[in-house]
Amino acid sequence: MNKSLLQSLRPLLIIFVFINAFCLTGKAWLAKNGINQEVLLAGNLLLFGVSFAAFFITHRAVRSENPQAFVRAMYGSFMIKFFVVAIVAFIYIMVVKKNVNKPALIACAGLYIVYTFIETKALVKLLKQKKNA
């Protein structure tokens, strides 16, 4: 991997590590506020993995000579990320039925927005570095 790619991924990695550290050290605070630690950790891992994959799909398109490739990759990665998260949330809701931890799901929705913002910001930064972009 080149240096600019690693620098672009750094904020994504920092957020992932920070959220995991917070979940592991703040178990009492999370429990006091009704947030299930396991759901938040699993959601963070899922969102990181999907964002990481979407970043690489779109990063490949940045290097392409075809100008429409980037737009297709952005839409495609958004659709993949959205549907994977929606399907996993649906499965979680169907499995636990009445014991759904709504605060943890809302926190995961917030993390979805954070990861999407960071991923988009990193990709725009890479796009600006490209010549003829």
Tokens representing residue 129 in the block: 């570095």
Higher-confidence position of 27 and 5: 27
118-129 pLDDT tens trace: 988 888 887 777
50-65 pLDDT tens trace: 999 998 888 888 878 8
64-99 pLDDT tens trace: 888 788 889 889 998 999 999 999 999 999 999 889
The reported pLDDT for the residue numbered 132 is 56
Nearest to 18 by CA among 41, 46, 36, 50: 41
Distances in whole angstroms, Cα of residue 50 to Cα of each of 44, 47, 67, 85, 97: 10, 5, 24, 8, 25
Containing structural domain, residue 33: 3-128
Tell whether 133 is covered by a domain.
Answer: no
Number of domains in the chain: 1
